[in-house]
Amino acid sequence: MNRIVLVFMRAILVAQESGSATVGIDELLTALDLNADEKEDPPIGLFEPVPSQDMPLTQGAVEAITLLGGYDAVRQDVSLKKLRAALLAVKHKQAP
């Protein structure tokens, strides 16, 4: 499984645990931090199907993903380091 996809999956769980209805920059950054703690590659192989866990992204998260070329580009070509940099750039731009 792609590490970026895993980050988005974890961000959904972080948002759900906090009671948020959306996935934002902070949830994605938290998920990146959780991913950084992993020393091994994510498991590869067959998995049990689970119900869809879709959750909308905040405007800030969408802006960061757009900076990187959109969600398809993020899934295929972007490193975790570039994702973090884009998220932090948007977060600092939004700060008062």
Q: Please, are residues 22 and 62 in contact by the beta-carbon 8 Å criterion?
A: no
Task: Inform me whether the pLDDT recorded for 11 exceeds 70.
Answer: yes
The pLDDT of residue 50 is: 62
CA separation for the pair 17, 66 (Å, rounded):
26
Question: Considering the entire predicted model, what is its pTM?
Answer: 0.82
What is the rounded average pLDDT of the residues 73-79?
84
pLDDT, tens digit, 9 for 90 and up, residues 12-62? 999 999 999 999 999 999 999 986 665 555 566 666 666 677 899 999 999
